[in-house]
Amino acid sequence: MIRVSKPSRSLALLLLLASITLSACSHHTYPEERLVQDLRDLCFKEYGIENIEVKIQGKTIGVHLPLKQLFTTDFSKLMENGSTPVQNLESLMQFSPEAMERVENVLFATSRVILSTDKELDFYVLTATDTEVTGIQLVLIGYLGDLRRVRFWDISRDEYRKRIVNDLRINRGVIWKKPVIALFKDMETKSTQDLIDTYFTTKSTPQEISPLFYSELLELAYKKDVRYEVLEVKSTSLKDDEIVVYAKVRSTFQPITEYLDYDFLVPSGYEAEYIFILEHQENKYKIARVIPFHFIDDSEKMERVEFPEELGLYRNIDTWLEEFTLEEVSLPQFLAEQLTRRVNQLLLDDQRVAGLFSQARIEFSHVGKDEPKQEKAEVKEGEPPADHFRLMLLFSSRSGAESAATPPPTAQDVFEREDVRYVLDKALKEFVTVIRSYRFEDYEYVDIFSPTESQILVLGKQQLELYRQKKLPLIDLFNTAYKAL
């Protein structure tokens, strides 16, 4: 996953525009049963955007916007000249103005729909993905409670912008599926030999590809008005240099005059399934083998086979990567991601922190009481496990200063260091302020963890509230803490 510590100017502007446009109120009602289609229709009719996908998971709505180019940099040419060193990676991550306009339009359409629907929603997730070269996607996550508050000026637009979680991630499934999607598209117009030369590994033989699929390629010469509709596609990594792609495809065609009575292997309208084995060759993924999920029986009828046994553990296709996946967002998870971004921006802008540390980063996470034991701090003996937030310290001191990468004699020494406490004071102040703003109380404590140590410091919720009210100074707050086992 790629994370951007400071949003680019274009993204910051987009989020500011979002806080303005999202405050608009629509009186139109979008019923729950038509919500997905209404949002798709709105994007097409008002902005000419017809390729969005919409999913709903619980109380989270997700919108996916595929883009041919997310950044201004031509990454395809950059990859062709791979020997040319990149001096400034951040300069490559400049968002395309055209891409930002489309993202803004989809964001505005989404806000209009979710603010006036009878479907109960808590979160929206917008992903905009470069589907041509990089597979990098911009992810924006917003809370509908914040949306409503900014409409009524209960929070400022600048505060609303800070509350939108934004991230850059790599969706490898987008890159892995490209050769397969392109193959089926070109099967509508290109010759068998062109397809073999373009999409398959060098010196591929019919037996190595798949006798059945190779025969299907040969039969293209007997068809006209050929159309391949990819109904489903997923991928996963088989090993370091091999990728497997599952595709479900419906093909339709008309036989040419000379072959009106020909018995085609895959009849028009049939929904066929395939597994494609891809290998990395010539700086791109090419198809080495095809495993169809169908065969011709002794009576020359099409029969479906189950998932190939030879792929063993890779039978569970449900776990494979899709271009657009959506998981329901929970408020604790959202708060942890928001706090991580907010606190690290504060640290990045703080000159004293810059002077003390070559790197200073804080990562928040929420740990549920039912999560695996190794993911949690052990609380005092006799106390039941409880939901809590974890604050992870990731830092290294400037050259010449005491090295935070070298473990001190005890974990308590780390938390007693003045420079570390300065960072923690900024982080904890932001934590108690944000948590209070959301009126979130479903946690029992905060534990502070340094990866270089084996112990965890635990701060109670009540003590943190006194700290927020400035009734308990930081030094006294730490005196009330205890070390987890």
* C-alpha span between 296 and 304 (Å, rounded): 9
Lowest mean pLDDT among 123-132, 297-306, 358-367, 385-394: 297-306
Q: At 62, which helix (H) or strand (E)?
A: strand 60-67
Q: Which residues of 281-313 are buried (b: 16+ CB within 10 A; e: fewer)?
A: eeeebbbbbbbbbbeeeeeeeeeeeebeeeeee
Between these two residues, 387 and 406, which has the higher pLDDT value?
A: 387
Question: Pairing state of beta strands 388-397 and 445-449?
Answer: parallel
135-144 pLDDT, tens digit per residue, is: 888 999 999 9
* C-alpha span between 423 and 439 (Å, rounded): 24
**What residues does each domain of the chain span?**
9-170, 175-319, 331-483
* C-alpha span between 46 and 100 (Å, rounded): 16
For residue 403, the model assigns a pLDDT of 43
Burial of 17 (0-12, 13-18, 19+ CB in 10 A): middle
Question: Pairing state of beta strands 60-67 and 123-130?
Answer: parallel
The answer for residues whose C-beta is within 8 angstroms of residue 406's C-beta and 6 or more apart is 452
pTM: 0.77
For tokens 């508050």, the residue is 149
For residue 299, the model assigns a pLDDT of 66
Q: Which residues of 373-410 are buried (b: 16+ CB within 10 A; e: fewer)?
A: eeebbebeeeeebebbbbbbbebbbeeeeeebeeebee
Answer yes or no: is pLDDT of 180 > 50.
yes
Q: Please compute, for residue 185, the number of CA atoms within 13 A of its CA located in the half-sphere on the CB side.
A: 8
* C-alpha span between 15 and 161 (Å, rounded): 6
For residue 417, the model assigns a pLDDT of 86
* C-alpha span between 348 and 362 (Å, rounded): 11
For residue 462, the model assigns a pLDDT of 94
147-166 pLDDT, tens digit per residue, is: 889 888 888 988 999 999 99
Q: Is 279 helix (H, G, I), strand (E, B) or coil?
A: strand
Cβ of 453: how many Cβ atoms within 10 Å?
18
The answer for residues whose C-beta is within 8 angstroms of residue 198's C-beta and 6 or more apart is 186, 190
Pair of tokens at residue 100 = 């930002």
The answer for residues whose C-beta is within 8 angstroms of residue 90's C-beta and 6 or more apart is none
pLDDT-based confidence at residue 294 (cuts at 50, 70, 90)? confident
For tokens 């020997």, the residue is 83
* C-alpha span between 336 and 245 (Å, rounded): 34
Pair of tokens at residue 196 = 């073999």
For residue 14, the model assigns a pLDDT of 63
For residue 410, the model assigns a pLDDT of 47
Q: Is 69 helix (H, G, I), strand (E, B) or coil?
A: coil
User: Which of 380-384, 409-413, 425-429 reaches the highest mean pLDDT?
Assistant: 425-429
For residue 205, the model assigns a pLDDT of 80
Nearest Cα neighbor of 135 from 205, 79, 209 is 79
For residue 404, the model assigns a pLDDT of 44
Q: At 105, which helix (H) or strand (E)?
A: helix 97-114
449 near 377, Cβ under 8 Å? yes
Length of the chain measured in residues: 485
* C-alpha span between 193 and 83 (Å, rounded): 32
For residue 371, the model assigns a pLDDT of 64
- CA angle 183/186/191 to nearest 5° reads 105
CATH numeric code, 175-319? 3.10.450.50
Nearest Cα neighbor of 268 from 281, 276, 259 is 259
171 near 177, Cβ under 8 Å? no
Nearest Cα neighbor of 111 from 23, 183, 213, 191 is 23
Lowest mean pLDDT among 9-23, 123-137, 285-299: 9-23
How far, rounded to the nearest angstrom, does the alpha carbon of residue 246 sit from its chain's CA centroid? 20
* C-alpha span between 421 and 424 (Å, rounded): 5
Nearest Cα neighbor of 38 from 22, 21, 26 is 26
